[in-house]
Structure 1
């Protein structure tokens, strides 16, 4: 019995499409019919501060909920977070991978971001099917002391009763009272002291009073309380209350543009075009290569107007990719669909945060602290959770030849002839060659198919470029004799070549090969936690520590009656707030706060 390996690529038409079009997925299902009764999603974003300076980080955790009980959504696997200025300019747009309805990210405030009032926005594609703005939004103020123009956060004159000034210590604490909600009635925060010295350990206990909250998913922020009036952050409790008022609002799939949920990763789409009106654009194969050491390859088939769709369900380290049309490549060009921007015409900025002249010293001190902290970032860096290496679509069982184990030959052609079994080259013109891989068993009598040739993850159509390539630059040649089906395309085996530098694609150019930038999800990070325990006290004794943010734990699961967390204070004195936000498995909000002092 012939051995076949079928690669099933989910080619989805579930992106944004005109609602009056008959959008049918690859398995013959009309998605409008499929999703018409699917409940709407809601997004809540817990973020560390509503006032940020240049040189500080905005940390955030996103919770995606659905249904009347606001349980964690299993529908969307991708969410989006944006920061929008008063003139409706998007400062950043992040794509966030959701795992069981949860994801995280951060944004470093650069000097290019001006002082002003901003909105933090969170949404999924599915949430965009609404006649009302159902996306999450909350106010954030930014102070950039390095730009001379501060008009957006200053006022020519305000009456004394309306002026924003410094908060007293009691005012600061009142802004951080423990929230009175279902979550805080059963979850409480305890610290071992009310006041700490500099660089001292704080022991935090999170206690549960109810088994209903024994499986709770939260994020924890410990940050210095601002000494001026700042925009109010939206708590999980306030968010839930606002959602309850709109619980009867349903998904609208009758609009001119419908956004379908990103079920299995994020959706990548585009369209091939041609200047020759006689050429058919239907049933053309479009290949996406994401090259590098851990690479991937996707293929889609165009519909009658040349449109194609791919589902990207794997985490990529590389953000650059290459796309090409298989076959008559020089006759087509490729246009990639960009992320459809949100409509912010109705977005209202009512926060009206501004600064006064008596805040000058506070702004100066905080800016200096930020410069010092950033100057020592390498001493206490965050780390990125690199995704697991992607297993090639054809598996890992290939016949491999490490060329250092053999006599070296000048070209790949000579190397294949002398070393690699079952692979040969064939001349098809005066200067053209193709690779051929011997079949294990005949697949279709009288039919011959070319192998899939890959170099450092890049699919190569012109085999001549590889046949004549300098073999001294090649580390390994691997092949498989098994026929492969990608979409509806058949390849007689795979020839996978790895160069010494794994970057063959950087200098490889073809007129039909288009280099593109992928809008990939943000990497998941482990955030640095400062410690002065044991030898670390001496190790960091000469490193300045003026942290405003003492701790950020975006992925804190509460699955026992008591959770203990230790962290250390900094040399930055003042009142600090411990803020715990999140939801339990039943969709009940958690919003608990605790204040302590550092002197």
Structure 2
């Protein structure tokens, strides 16, 4: 018995710990796979978003909404798209505006949950857009040097280039069975700096090493026991006596993932050649049971600027792309948001998944609509007041929230693409007009690195964009476009009543036509009493449970919208009304107490009225709408050449035991080198990157 009792206690502790683990709220960061990095203004930009849980390195199951922005050189978003994430993944795209000037742009990707904690968690992907229709000044030379990421290999010296003219040779090596990090510095003795003092700084998120030294016979070596180092990734700075940086690098000592990109053998195709490339699960079963992938095939770009999934998980998932990552202020910020034991700092549990009390929240099962109520005269926020969000239509879907001290309240909308027909209503304020301010979930300004990822003054680069531009213009002329505008005009309304099935329902066409709506209440619905007070009608409902009329007015709805004065509705022609529904008892819903409910539904079911109730704003709110859709097979007429340079984009690929992948495409008439890139992540969190060169000749 004692043994069974001990086992029971241990199981209880394990279950308790498991429950606590499930309640941890981890931060997230998004990896973007784009169809390419160099675009012609007017071309579509396609992306696949992988949302990574920073606590366990797996696809995140927390946030189901991602925000993607295209940022210009001034940090202003020029295109925006919100994406529904399913199992941590989502895809989308937008058309780059034909009026965008030539230059460096950046994609910003984030979830609201991580963005509300730190802008450092925004993923920034640099791209280049070329536009021959606009004139712009040559790009300025970037004065900030970029961090060079250098993975160190055992028993081989890796040269680290200087960023100044100090003529110092720097080499790094991991030696003695990966137990010693050796840094070797060499300077010509004739150099006037050879007798000066220098400082070496190695810094990670957990520790730092500072060493001041002078060269001896033009050499100096620093050996560090790797076991004494607490970090896996270190910034490397070499400073001269004046404090100027001579070299700056980032060193991988121990990678989270030692996986390397898979490079398949180059293949040669002729123009208009139909080809199939297969991925067999047995060849990649060591990655996991299931791999979630995306694939792009396009003209090979002369520069490689993108960060693949492996490097993202090894480095960029923790840091942004700036060179000052290891400055104390940034380190302190990152320590707050993602560097601690298992990165799970935020254990405030949302006890009710429907309740949101502040700006830090996870959009998991719903899109969260933020609203702020202010006085237009004083600009003061209206706090501790009830706000209703209603959905107009055949069914009544009502949410009730109270504003917090900042005048904010938060409502839930389903993760459905389309136009959401909603109304926000301020209750019991018939004299003072207030303004409703809906928060734009996208950032007002974004992050553009302005890194010169593509130097157009280079002859090879200029030739590449010139050919891309000419091919794009020819495709326009012959209508060989691989995308089409997408106008999502679906109206999304409520699917059921918040009060369930009404006890009383009167369908107007089932009865003899009466002259007015009040007559239907008087003749057919005895539970409802209409009392007239000056210019206002008051609706009261007889309570079936208490066998008496309830003391306060009932909730009155028309096509889902709440009316405190139903005069306009009661004066409608009964021919325009479909039915009347009544709930003849007290109804508690959230924090609201209704003394009966009366709902009138029109035949059009779209709440057509001349004037909205006081302090009511109605919106057709677009959520997750796509501005363009992909055309897999552009219209290429017989006898006309095929000018495509973007051959394939497939963002939803799955490789598993029971499912291999077969990529089928047809090469175009544009000869040259193409590159196939397939990347993604397994169910175990292991990154996958595969590339293959394809020559069309």
Q: What's the TM-score bracket when you normalise by the shorter of the two chains?
A: 0.7 to 0.9
Change (3 A) 1:343 1:525: closer
Q: Distance in 1 between matches of 2:628 and 2:274?
A: 25
Q: Does 1:209 align with 2:307?
A: no
Counterpart among 203, 208, 222 of residue 296 in structure 2: 222
CA distance 1:209–1:364, change in 2 (3 Å):
closer
**CA offset at residue 519 of structure 1?**
6.5
The 8 Å contact of residues 288 and 324 in structure 1, kept in 2 or not, is answered as: yes
Higher strand content, 1 or 2: 2
* Counterpart selection for 1:117 from 99, 104, 107: 104
Q: What's the CA shift for 1:131? A: 6.3
Counterparts in 2 of 1:236 and 1:410: CA distance versus 1, 3 Å: farther
Question: Do 1:316 and 1:387's aligned partners in 2 also have CA atoms closer than 8 Å?
Answer: no
Could you tell me which residue of structure 1 aligns to residue 675 of structure 2?
A: 577
The separation in 2 between residues aligned to 1:559 and 1:382, in whole angstroms, is 32
Confirm or deny: 8 A CA contact 1:427 1:433 kept in the other structure.
Answer: yes
> More displaced, 231-240 or 61-70?
61-70
Paired residue for 1:468, among 544, 562, 571? 571
- Counterpart for residue 501 of structure 2: 397
Question: Which of 135, 148, 161 in structure 1 is aligned with 2:134?
Answer: 148
- For residues 607 and 639 of structure 2, the distance between their equivalents in structure 1, rounded to whole angstroms, comes to 45
Q: Which one has a bigger Cα radius of gyration?
A: 2
What is the number of residues matched between the two proteins?
525
**What's 1:270 paired with?**
371
Q: Is the 8 A contact 1:219 1:581 kept in 2?
A: yes
* Shift in alpha-carbon separation, 1:560–1:302, aligned structure 2, 3 A: same
Aligned-residue RMSD, C-alpha: 4.5
Q: In structure 1, what is the Cα distance between the partners aligned to 2:647 and 2:77?
A: 29
Partner of 1:195: 269
Aligned-residue offset at 1:61: 1.6
Q: Equivalents in 2 of 1:222, 1:507: separation in Å?
A: 52
- Is 2:577–2:603's contact at 8 Å kept on the other side of the alignment? yes
Cα distance between partner residues in 2 of 1:70 and 1:588: 8
**Residue from 555, 577, 592 that aligns with 1:451:** 555
2:79 corresponding residue in structure 1? 92
Find the aligned partners of 1:360 and 1:195 in 2 and give their Cα distance: 24
Higher RCO, 1 vs 2 (CA within 8 Å, ≥6 residues apart): 1
SS at match of 2:593: strand
Compute the displacement of 1:102 (Å).
2.0
Give yes or no for contact 1:319–1:518 (8 Å, CA) kept in 2: yes
CA separation in 2, counterparts of 1:244 and 1:68? 11
Q: Deviations over 1:433-460 (max 9, x none)?
A: 24445444239985344034131x4333
Q: Which residue of 2 aligns with 1:236?
A: 309
Matches within 5 A, 1:191-340: 194-195=268-269, 197-198=271-272, 200=274, 202-226=276-300, 229-230=302-303, 232-243=305-316, 249-251=335-337, 259-274=360-375, 281-292=382-393, 296-304=397-405, 306-315=407-416, 317-319=418-420, 321-339=422-440
CA 1:590–1:491: 2 relative to 1, 3 Å: same
Give per-residue Cα distances to partners, 1:292-341, cap 9 Å, x unaligned: 57874322112355432334344362245321211224424133252376
User: Cα gap change, 1:205/1:431 in structure 2, threshold over 3 Å: closer, same or farther?
Assistant: same
Could you say which residue in structure 1 is the equivalent of 2:653?
556
- Aligned residue for 1:6? none
Residue 454 (structure 2) pairs with residue 353 (structure 1): yes
Shift of 1:589: 0.9
Counterpart CA distance in 2 for 1:521 and 1:443 is 49
CA contact (8 A) 1:453 1:459 kept: yes
Q: Distance in 2 between matches of 1:576 and 1:96?
A: 29
- Which position in structure 1 is the counterpart of 2:690? 592
In structure 1, C-alpha distance between the alignment counterparts of 2:399 and 2:310, rounded to whole Å: 43
SS in structure 1 at match of 2:127: strand
Partner of 1:19: none
Secondary structure, counterpart of 2:120 in structure 1: coil
* Cα deviations by residue, 1:137-180 (Å, 9 ceiling, x for unpaired): 111112234x432436699xxxxxxxxxxxxxxxxxxxxxxxxx
> Matches of 1:122 and 1:376 in 2, distance apart?
24
